[in-house]
Amino acid sequence: MDFRFTEEQNMLKETVRRFVEAEIPRELAVEIDEQDRFPHELLQKLSDLGFMGINVSEEYGGQGGDIIDQMILFEEISKKLPVLAWAAGNIILYGNEIIGTNGSREQKEKYLPKLVRGELKFAYALTEPNAGSDAVSIRTKAVADGDYYLINGSKMFITGAGIADIVVTNTRTAESKFKGITDFLVETRSEGFSATPIRDLGYRGSNTCEVHYDNIRVPKENILGGPECLNHGWKQMMRLLNAERLVLSSCALGIGEAALDYALNYAKEREQFGKPIGSFQAITHMLVEMATELEAARHLAYYAAWKETQGMECVKETSMSKYYCSEVAKKIALQGVQILGGYGYTMEYDAQRFLRDVLVLSIGGGTTQIQKNIIGKQLGL
């Protein structure tokens, strides 16, 4: 048994840590949140440093790293600017991972090198106004028209859809529930595509959008995996789920750690009744619980990731990780506000930002309740 990162992983962690320290001062994180603006310049800097190729094979210009490498990257960035981790996630997970796992040879050659160089942005569109947790009920339709498909419908909460070049769009192409879904690589410059940003509580700057497809013509070659993958969409999505749950777990770990450090520092400095508030047992115990649960969450997440890298069955563990990390981080952020007292309730302190950001992690990528349903099934219930 060995709980240590490898030398390369420690180097990666240190490099990302130095990047966020140097490039993301607190004022910039606050400005991006207040202005609700997409962090274009920081994403480009991450690309320039090669981070967008973290999970792309060397053949296509990447580093060929695994899910643990990705988690290290997302966790470190999320400590400073969670929305930047999501912007990178749209490329790393919904670009590289989707194309690398499901794309045809031509699609890999066409997209992966550009994704690595930061020349292309992807978004992933599954959720619809009437199909959220019940994603298999999507109704956005793709109908064959010669060598093309015509796509009509609407998607909801699509992160980065307004700045993406390609939106991987889940459509209904046949009646059969699970075997009637096809993923199309839809170019956002296509006539009939529109994306309208939604104002969110947290992850501000993520450009989360409502998306409309009005008779968009897409060539059949743009089916993910090529024309022979018609109706393979659900199966293709399933291959992404472990990675998605682990990436979101690591985002939660990053925010949880930032919120814990913030509250801990405050508790050491703030004095009441002539003593630092951290010396009151009630506050000490809160911080101890926060630190312990975060440690437990981190072990669960990296254990699940280790199983994934070993090619072992790990649906139960990745779902537990997604559920537990997001709920623990939420609890830590909430207790952080309490530890800051009245100051925690003001916009001048960061405690509120951690809380606003963390809330979505138990919603997106399958809610806590849906993860529990999956775990229940794995337990034979």
Ligand X SMILES: Cc1cc2nc3c(=O)[nH]c(=O)nc-3n(C[C@H](O)[C@H](O)[C@H](O)COP(=O)(O)OP(=O)(O)OC[C@H]3O[C@@H](n4cnc5c(N)ncnc54)[C@H](O)[C@@H]3O)c2cc1C
Catalytic residues: 244
- What is the C-alpha to C-alpha distance for residues 272 and 77, in angstroms, rounded to an integer? 34
Stretch near ligand X under the rule CB under 6 A, chosen from 124-132, 227-235, 247-255, 321-329:
124-132
Closest chain position to ligand X (CB) = 132
**Element housing 250 (H / E):** helix 233-269
- What is the C-alpha to C-alpha distance for residues 347 and 368, in angstroms, rounded to an integer? 28
Residue 69: C-alpha distances to residues 66, 196, 250 (Å): 5, 33, 11
Pick 127 or 319: Cβ nearer ligand X: 127
Tokens, residue 378? 């794995």
- What is the C-alpha to C-alpha distance for residues 131 and 129, in angstroms, rounded to an integer? 6
Residues 183-222 vs ligand X: string with x where CB under 6 A?
A: -----------------x--x----x--------------
Stretch near ligand X under the rule CB under 6 A, chosen from 127-135, 214-222, 248-256, 285-293:
127-135
Tokens, residue 33? 């949140």
Q: Is 157 in the site for ligand X (CB under 6 A)?
A: yes
Minimum separation from the CB atom of position 363 to ligand X (A): 5
Tokens, residue 242? 């472990």
Kindly tell me which residue out of 126, 301, 333, 340 binds ligand X, with binding defined by CB under 6 A: 126
Minimum separation from the CB atom of position 43 to ligand X (A): 16
- What is the C-alpha to C-alpha distance for residues 66 and 89, in angstroms, rounded to an integer? 14
Give 68's Cβ-side CA count (13 Å radius): 21
Kindly tell me which residue out of 57, 154, 367, 378 binds ligand X, with binding defined by CB under 6 A: 367
- What is the C-alpha to C-alpha distance for residues 283 and 267, in angstroms, rounded to an integer? 8
Kindly tell me which residue out of 61, 132, 192, 276 binds ligand X, with binding defined by CB under 6 A: 132
Q: Looking up tokens 């400590």, which residue turns up?
A: 79
The footprint of ligand X on this chain (CB under 6 A) covers a number of residues equal to 20
Q: Which residues inside 337-366 make contact with ligand X, applying CB under 6 A?
A: 360, 363-365
Point out which residues bind ligand X (CB under 6 A): 124-127, 132-133, 157-159, 200, 203, 208, 360, 363-365, 367, 369-370, 373
